[in-house]
Amino acid sequence: MSAPPPPVLEARGLVRSFGGVRAVDGVSLAVRAGELLALIGPNGAGKTTCFHLIGGQLRPEAGTVRLAGRDITGLPPPRIFRAGVGRTFQITATFGSMTVRENVQMALLSHAQRLFGLWRPARRQMRAEAEALLARVGMAEQAERASGVLAYGDLKRLELAIALAGRPRLLLMDEPTAGMAAAERRALMALVARLARESGLAVLFTEHDMDVVFGHADRVLVLDRGRVLAEGTPEAVRADPRVRAAYLGGVAA
Amino acid sequence: MDSGLLARRSLLRRSAAAVAVAAAAPLAAPAIARAQAAAGGAAGPIRIGEINSYTAIPAFLQPYRNAWLMAQDEVNAQGGIHGRRLETVFRDDAGRPEDAVRHAGELVNVERVHLLAGAFLSNVGLALSDFANQHRRLFVASEPLTDALVWSRGNRFTFRLRPSTYMQCAMLVEEAAKLPARRWAIVAPNYEYGQSAARWFKELLARARPDVQFVAEQYPALGRIDAGATVQALAGANPEAIFNVTFAQDLTNFVRQGNTRGLFERRHVVSLLTGEPEYLLPLGDEAPEGWIVTGYPYADLDNPRHNAFREAYRRRFNEEPRCGSVVGYDTVTAIATMLRRTGGATGTDAMIEAMRGLRFPTAFGTAEVEFRAIDHQSTLGAFVGKTALRDGRGVMVDWRYADGAKYLPPDEVVRQMRPQSAS
Amino acid sequence: MDALILQALNGLASASSLFLVASGLTVIFGVSRIVNFAHGSLYMLGAYLGWTLVTRFAGGGAPGPLGFWGGVLLAALAVGLIGVAIEVLLLRRLYRAPELFPLLATFGVVLIVQDLALWAWGPQDLLGPRAPGLHGAVELPLLGLRFPRYELFLIALGPVVLGLLWLLFRRTRFGLLIRAATEDREMVGALGVDQRALFTGVFFLGAVLAGLAGALQLPRESVNLHMDLAVIVEAFVVVVVGGLGSLGGAFLAALLIGELHAFGILVFPRITLVLVFLVMAVVLVLRPHGLAGAAPAAVPPGAPGAAEPVIRPAPLALRRFALAVFALACALPSVLGDYALSVFADFAVFVLFAMSLHLLMGPGGMASFGHAAYFGIGAYAAALLAHHLAAPMAAGIALAPLAAGLAGLAFGWFCVRLSGVYAAMLTLAFAQIAWSVAFQWVEVTGGDNGILGVWPDAWARDRRVFAWLALALSAGGTLLLLRAIHAPFGYALRALRDSAPRAAAIGIPALTVRWLAFAFAAGLAGLAGALFAYGKGSVFPTLLAIPRSVDALLMVLLGGVRTVTGPIWGALAYAGLSEQLVRATDHWRLLLGLAIVALVLFFPEGLAGAARRWWEARESDGRR
């Protein structure tokens, strides 16, 4: 009998401080294939910093990040992308001078290492793949629109399509449903959950909306002032008195 | 060959008769002139294409163009050249040689000028000279001083009026060698003119006075001298004499800082071009005294021809003539004299033949000037004298006319410097 | 020892003068983000107006009724009002235009002022009076050295002005707003402050400082028509070396440059030509935001992309139009005269030159103030091959882009690591270093006398054949650029410009892509340069000089930096306009300047941008 495969993402003892304040202070977490882990906590708890440490936007001062057992600590974002991490941003980031489909094509071309072509028009390359991805996130009809004019919820879905274009093993989603209507949120998260189950994708996401968290996450990790406060199934976390005291008390009572 | 094509093509747009004439006389550029003459253009004007850095160097070139027009009007008032009027088309190269070349093409091909003239900056002069060589046109360079123009890069089509850097240096070295000073410093703008003036001065002075040494050299960027620091650097070397090549605003700033800091006290200064009113007048009452300079004593030069020139210039433009005025005036005089010699013919070969050895009078009123056949350099000279203050402005005193013919290297040296193809 | 002390004092005096000009520039830039090319013109106007006010209101050169100091201050205030006029009439209308577009407008102002100054004050250099009470030299206490009084005054004035500005910024509401606006423009808008009034006020302040700096040169330098361009580049260097928007940094940078100048000429008398640019290159490579500049507040990952228009494949009608234009261009040489043919070849060269720069400025989002370097290096590569090795033209045309591309690789490696105006100024520094090599290495390059006799091979010597050759290569290069813009490489460049964090998160290696784009653009500029060299028959250092870089910049901006083919129209319009005006009138600078200002006001998106807008409006009307 072989040992169980290592978790897709395993972070250990991550530390990062800004101006003497430890924004992330010894956080460890792990996400397995097919699992959705929600990272929650009050504002300033260190969620986004945590994401940046894993996604390569920031370098940790201490700690390691492993992707399927491989050390990716401190690599720049492009290398982390190539290692198999896709991400969406809290404030959406798309290429405003491209259409929706071109945004996805861009990610596909990058994944296929075809960035340095000088002759064949980009918009004619990997078009079907891009459309398939857009169809998966429900953006097929908007493929020809400029990404700069999209509604907020559509931008989030486009970001998801872009993130998926790299065939990631791990998806990092910073507030994937912020600004969406309730029905939209449920649809998007259901989609993400389905993708995770079907293709063994590991998903780490932050979220303010507790309905989303408790409705879709397999496990929940609570951060407070840079430290892990609690971790477990949604039910266990919800029941945890420390969590209730520190965080949920005022919100979900 | 090239100009044969040129002649043929240009004629397509002319009358069929002219085409027939051109076909009958496939002799390159002169064919145009003959064709035009044959097509009834005998009384048409003779056109000069003049290219200069008008917007870049207005202080020198406005008086230059004034006098040019004055000379041209005088020629035309006397009936022109064998009945043909003299006309000039002016173009501004803005100090860019590549633009000068473009204008040359336009003047030759569109404005149909018979010869090219002008240039202040040396690199513009050289670019036009090369254009003239390629397109087999006469180019009378009026002002550019670089020696290369008639020597190392000389060609059959280019003639130059002004005494060159070498000649003016030679004039000054003659005086410098008489000074007791042995420790010399040099300040020159950092470009070809400044560098070659410094080189010639050192070489010629060392030849005349083996005992001199050069203790400091400063090469400020043209037009951007850091005068205080430059003056201090020169003073730090404690020379007995200074050779200055800066001019225009660099000179003004250098003189101001030098005066303030006593750089010129108890020191000899030998200075190129500083006696030209363009550069001396802006110094006002701060003009240095006792510098040995080349220049133009416009107020005191007293002979009938110069007096007439000065009077006419004053009357027409309400100001004193500058050195540029003489250069502009003499260029037109030389061209007109040459054209009279060709009998009004404007074929390039005929004009070149007439230019070689051409003798013409200068507005200086001094001896006749000759365009030497050996290197196409004119023997126009310059005045060498000392600066002084009079009525709150700088003037030249104790001056004499240094005839350019006496400040040129021996013929065999010139022949060696000049390419074979240029003769 | 004495000499060194004196030289240090000289350095301080130059530093003060430099700081005065640079302080106004940095204040204006800090708030408005406008690269004010006309700042040198304001400085020159300060000197001329100062001269008039000080001398003209009395006879015989004695100071007029205002006295020297009154005249200087009045001149500074007058220049301040001119600055306000420029802001209100011109720049105010351009704050929404693409970055750097106002540069085009201020360049128009430079041209206009040059001609007006010549007209008003004549061509001859003017000498201002000495400052009363500050004549001559004074013995320095303790040291026993003599030093000019006025220079001592200047040495003191620099820190005093710095101190006054510091007080203004710390102790007044106006200053507080300026500081706030320098750090965060949106925030000031959110505070409900009238931005227009603030900008106008800032322009007044900056222009007063420029005018004061100019007028204060009266006792030490001649007033002349070259002052504007002589000072503007150095002032920019000081501002950038100091860190954009930082007064203290500008002061430090002025000190550094002033002292290095003063001591540099003791060791290398010829270094003055290039020293400031060497300093700037070194500082920027080591400190990408200048001495005192901080990195702009970290852009939060996922900040909204710039509002750049979507680049779509050209509509059929446009492609047909382009094809027709190209066919016309192909046919044109057979009916043109000799001069028109050479202009035609020039235009072909400029189109390629502008298009190559546009790859960097448009899709690349990087400004370059030194693109002429690659144009010139290509031209010199061709000329050196022809001159020293008698190589055929084909070899020159093949190797020139290679040489320029290699230079692009070398310089670009540093430039792409910087951003915004810092990157642009580093390109300028490298261009000036390349220029000074062409200028000073006389044995190889012929110095400023250039290299002559770079004529095409016999088969292409016919003007018509050469025009076709230029068209073919220019069209080929342009096609390559257009294909690249629509190909994945161009998309990757745009991706980096639109959203750097997103681009990184999908694995686009920013530095590599930008670096290669830099070299690619450089190579094609080199091709344009080689063609230009063969067309003119000669090369000169002017081919690498700042005005040529500015030309390229103007062509791109005029055509429309946010369009794909704009630079083609920009190049044709700008080159055509200057060619016509220079022939038509002595006052071509005035008219060209006015034309540029008019184009800027009427077509703030550039010519092609305006055409696109017109087209889109027509299309949507049609659909209704």
Instruction: List pLDDT tens digits, range C69-126.
Output: 999 999 999 999 999 999 999 998 887 777 788 888 999 999 999 999 999 999 999 9
User: Strands A9-18, A21-31: parallel, antiparallel or unpaired by DSSP?
Assistant: antiparallel
Q: Which of residues 96-125 of B touch C (CB under 8 A)?
A: 96-99, 101-103, 105-106, 108-110, 122-123
Question: CB–CB of A238/A248 below 8 Å?
Answer: yes
Question: CB–CB of A84/A105 below 8 Å?
Answer: no
Compare CB distances from C501 to A86, A89, A114 and report the shortest one's residue: A89
* Mean pLDDT value across residues C260-266: 89
Residue B13: what pLDDT? 38
Mean pLDDT over each residue of chain A, to the nearest integer: 90
Phi, psi (degrees; rounded to nearest 5) at B242: -130, 135
C447 to chain B: nearest residue by CA? B192
Q: C6 CB near a chain B CB, below 8 Å? A: yes
Residue A111: what pLDDT? 95
Alpha carbons within 13 A on the beta-carbon side of C10: 28
Q: What is the DSSP string of C466-482?
A: HHHHHHHHHHHHHHHHH
Q: How many CB atoms lie within 10 A of CB A15?
A: 16
Shortest distance between the Cα of A109 and any Cα of chain C, in A, equals 7
Q: C1 CB near a chain B CB, below 8 Å? A: no
Confidence label for A3 from pLDDT (cuts 50, 70 and 90): low
Contact between C313 and A116 using a beta-carbon 8 Å cutoff? no
Confidence label for C271 from pLDDT (cuts 50, 70 and 90): confident
C533 to chain B: nearest residue by CA? B98
CA dihedral A99, A103, A105, A111 (to 10 degrees): 170
Question: CB–CB of C305/C499 below 8 Å?
Answer: yes
Contact between A77 and C505 using a beta-carbon 8 Å cutoff? yes
B3 to chain C: nearest residue by CA? C462
**In chain B, where are the structural domains located?**
2-163+304-313+321-379, 166-301+382-407
- Return the SS3 of B397: strand
Q: How far apart are CA C69 and CA C92, in angstroms?
A: 32
User: Which domains can be identified in chain A, with CATH numbers?
Assistant: 9-92+168-252 (3.40.50.300)
Residue B16: what pLDDT? 36
Residue C573: what pLDDT? 95
Shortest distance between the Cα of B341 and any Cα of chain C, in A, equals 30
Q: Which of residues 44-83 of C touch B (CB under 8 A)?
A: 61
Beta bridge partners of B116: B49, B139
Q: How many CB atoms lie within 10 A of CB B231?
A: 28
Assembly ipTM? 0.92
Residue C497: what pLDDT? 93
Check pLDDT > 90 for residue C131. no
Of all residues in chain C, what percent carry a pLDDT higher than 70?
95
Q: Which tokens go with C529?
A: 């340069």
CA triple C181-C186-C192, angle to 5 deg: 85
Architecture of domain B2-163+304-313+321-379: 3-Layer(aba) Sandwich (3.40)
Judging contacts by C-beta atoms under 8 Å, the chain C residues touching residue B106 are 339, 343, 583
Weakest-pLDDT range from B299-303, C183-187, C222-226? C183-187
Segments in chain B below pLDDT 70: 1-43, 423
Nearest to A102 by CA among C312, B258, B24: C312
Mean pLDDT over each residue of chain C, to the nearest integer: 90
Q: Which tokens go with B52?
A: 């200069």
For C40, residues 6+ apart whose C-beta sits below 8 A from its C-beta are C21, C110, C227, C228, C229, C230, C231, C232, C235
Residue spans of alpha helices (H) in chain A: 47-55, 77-83, 100-111, 127-136, 152-165, 182-199, 210-216, 234-239, 241-243, 249-252
Contact between B229 and C11 using a beta-carbon 8 Å cutoff? yes
Question: CB–CB of C374/C408 below 8 Å?
Answer: yes
A145 residue type, one letter: R
Question: CB–CB of B215/B185 below 8 Å?
Answer: yes
Phi, psi (degrees; rounded to nearest 5) at B107: -65, -40
Compare CB distances from B59 to C125, C340, C547 and report the shortest one's residue: C125
Residue A182: what pLDDT? 86
Superfamily of domain B166-301+382-407: Response regulator (3.40.50.2300)
Weakest-pLDDT range from A109-113, A221-225, B124-128, C95-99? C95-99
Q: Which tokens go with C64?
A: 């007029």
Beta bridge partners of B47: B87
Question: CB–CB of C308/A96 below 8 Å?
Answer: yes
How distant is the alpha carbon of residue A135 from its chain centre? Answer: 20
Phi, psi (degrees; rounded to nearest 5) at C340: -60, -35
Contact between C450 and B97 using a beta-carbon 8 Å cutoff? yes
Residue C566: what pLDDT? 93
Phi, psi (degrees; rounded to nearest 5) at A9: -120, 130
Q: How far apart are CA A112 and CA A101, in angstroms?
A: 16
Residue C34: what pLDDT? 86
B–C interface: beta-carbon pairs under 8 A: 203
How distant is the alpha carbon of residue B225 from its chain centre? Answer: 24
Residue B21: what pLDDT? 35
**C-alpha distances in angstroms, C590 versus C113, C115, C594?**
8, 6, 6
Q: Which tokens go with B246?
A: 């800066």
B7 to chain C: nearest residue by CA? C338
Q: How far apart are CA C47 and CA C227, in angstroms?
A: 9
Check pLDDT > 70 for residue A194. yes
Of all residues in chain A, what percent carry a pLDDT higher than 70?
96
Instruction: Say if B and C touch: at least 3 Cβ pairs within 8 Å.
Output: yes
Judging contacts by C-beta atoms under 8 Å, the chain A residues touching residue C516 are 116
- First-last CA distance in chain C: 83
Contact between A95 and C507 using a beta-carbon 8 Å cutoff? no
Shortest distance between the Cα of C273 and any Cα of chain B, in A, equals 5
